[in-house]
């Protein structure tokens, strides 16, 4: 008997089409968010601030890459235009070009070292420094700044390194 052996072709087609449309809707809805870190906006500022803080605390100012967070006194002094007798910096970075050093890509930034309990508005001024440990790329007013912090040690004293990018 060769009757109807086709089954539920219409129902199978409807389910398959529904699943396909749901998949297309999902891709159209969520695919643009995959590229958010690469577009301009607050997200990129946060990435740049985090990268800059890591570069300073783990590489450029660090006594060695094996001891991130332990900063060389000579390098910190050179970054903030200070002079400390007997302190040298083995880094080959150009501390005069803060934009290039931190790969800011034209953004504005502020690097501050402050005591652990103090806010960023109160930069540290240790005995070896003639001024505050704060440096900006320019005198622009911060708007919608992204902030990244690291706990660091300079000459056996604990501080906080804060990088703000706007």
Tens digits of residue pLDDT in 83-92? 888 888 888 8
Q: For the whole prediction, is pTM greater than 0.85?
A: no
Q: Which residues contact 116 (CB under 8 A, 6 or more apart)?
A: 151, 158, 159, 160
Predicted local confidence at residue 42, as pLDDT: 56
Which stretches of the chain drop beneath a pLDDT of 50?
none
* Per-residue pLDDT tens over the stretch 52-79: 999 999 999 999 888 889 999 999 999 9
Q: Is 30 exposed, middle or buried (0-12, 13-18, 19+ CB in 10 A)?
A: exposed
Predicted local confidence at residue 85, as pLDDT: 87
Predicted local confidence at residue 151, as pLDDT: 95
Question: Are the C-beta atoms of 111 and 163 separated by less than 8 Å?
Answer: yes
Query: Measured between alpha carbons, how far is 60 from 54 in angstroms, rounded to an integer?
Result: 9
Predicted local confidence at residue 51, as pLDDT: 93
Token pair 């990018």 is at which residue? 165
Predicted local confidence at residue 22, as pLDDT: 96
Predicted local confidence at residue 123, as pLDDT: 94
Q: What is the DSSP letter of 106?
A: T
């Amino acid at each position: 008997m060769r009757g109807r052996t086709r089954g539920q072709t219409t129902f199978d087609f409807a389910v398959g089409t529904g699943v396909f449309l749901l998949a297309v809707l999902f891709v159209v809805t969520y695919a643009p968010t995959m590229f958010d870190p690469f577009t301009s906006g607050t997200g990129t500022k946060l990435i740049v601030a985090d990268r800059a803080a890591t570069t300073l605390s783990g590489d450029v100012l660090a006594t060695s890459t094996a001891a991130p967070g332990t900063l060389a006194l000579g390098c910190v002094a050179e970054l903030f235009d200070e002079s400390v007798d007997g302190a040298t910096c083995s880094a080959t970075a150009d501390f005069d070009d803060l934009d290039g050093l931190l790969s800011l890509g034209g953004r504005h930034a502020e690097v501050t070292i402050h005591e652990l309990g103090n806010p960023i508005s109160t930069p540290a001024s240790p005995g070896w420094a003639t001024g505050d440990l704060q440096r900006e790329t320019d005198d622009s007013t911060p708007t919608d700044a992204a902030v990244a912090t690291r706990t660091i040690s300079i000459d056996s004293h604990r501080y906080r390194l804060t990088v703000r990018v706007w």
